Amino acid sequence: MNRKKIVVIISIIVIVFSVICSVLPLITMNELADKTVISTFGETVTLYGKGLYARNSVSSAVQAIAQDMVTLILIVPGMIAALLMIRKERMIGKFLLTGLFGYMLYTYMSYAFLMYYNDIFLLYVANMTLSFYGFVLCVMMLLDEIKIERLKSDMPTKGLRIFLFVSGVMIFFMWIGKIVPTIGKDTAPAGLDNCTSLVIQAMDMGIIVPACFVIAYLLRIKHKLGYILGPVIIVKAVTLVTAVLAMAIYMKISGVEVDVASFVIFGPICIASYIFFFIIMRKIGRYNKSKNEG
């Protein structure tokens, strides 16, 4: 079985599991009798109290539901569209699928470690694992197939490098500003609620921020991997900031307090992500045409 077929099979499984993971929290109706708990830091936390996210705080459950809706409405159709483009041998489909695997990996890794244990925990783990290997196989496929000279000529590498560097710095200091004031004071950062640790912050500072700096460097030295991972991280950025904005909107609708400072930082990143997304995807969309002409 060749690499492309394996990627297609993995994609289909991830799509099916993602639909299940996104729909079940919306239709499960079981409720907790007691919806208030005291965290180990002495904070009184109101639980969501119903469905699969019953034991999560209202804030984290509402954010998860918003992300589930983005996954169901945007990401799953996006993966299907990418598979159809790959079937037609369109390079843009391979870049899109790689970036969407990145989104799925980030999402279900966070669910596996952040959400309180529920009946679909094994699906979180399966999607996390499959998305990781799907991502790796897609990158390998792009490394084998892409003729980088066709992308070098008009890829906005300088602007992309600046965007990645600035985004990495902003995200790092946003979370540092949340964490450092609590060190040595035996208190928890705002938003920890009844969770044990800051999973999202650990993933962002440990994976996303370094990835921004490494990809920016690879683009600077004109390395082939940089021209592949640059567009990929933009796809991942667009999907993730869309989910973050959906969370903010749904939190507001649900009457949950929104961390305005965080979303002020994510706002410019969101706008820039969409600008780079449309510019870069248009360039990649021309790849097959220039390949045929060549």
What is the per-residue pLDDT for 268? 82
**Averaged pLDDT, 213-217:** 96
**Averaged pLDDT, 143-157:** 75
**Averaged pLDDT, 169-198:** 88
**Secondary structure (H, E, C), the chain:** CCHHHHHHHHHHHHHHHHHHHHHHHHHCCCECCCCEEECCCCCEEEECCEHHHCCCEHHHHHHHHHHHHHHHHHHHHHHHHHHHHHHCCCHHHHHHHHHHHHHHHHHHHHHHHHCCCCCCHHHHHHHHHHHHHHHHHHHHHHHHHCCCHHHHCCCCHHHHHHHHHHHHHHHHHHHHHHHHHHCCCCCCCCCCCCCCCCHHHHHHHHHHHHHHHHHHHHHHCCCHHHHHHHHHHHHHHHHHHHHHHHHHHHHHHCCCCCCHHHHHHHHHHHHHHHHHHHHHHHHHHCHHHHHHHC
Flag whether pLDDT at 157 surpasses 90: no
Better-scored residue on pLDDT, 96 or 155 = 96
What is the per-residue pLDDT for 153? 66
Per-residue confidence band for 263, with pLDDT thresholds at 50, 70 and 90: low
**Averaged pLDDT, 206-230:** 93
Flag whether pLDDT at 19 surpasses 60: yes
Flag whether pLDDT at 284 surpasses 70: yes
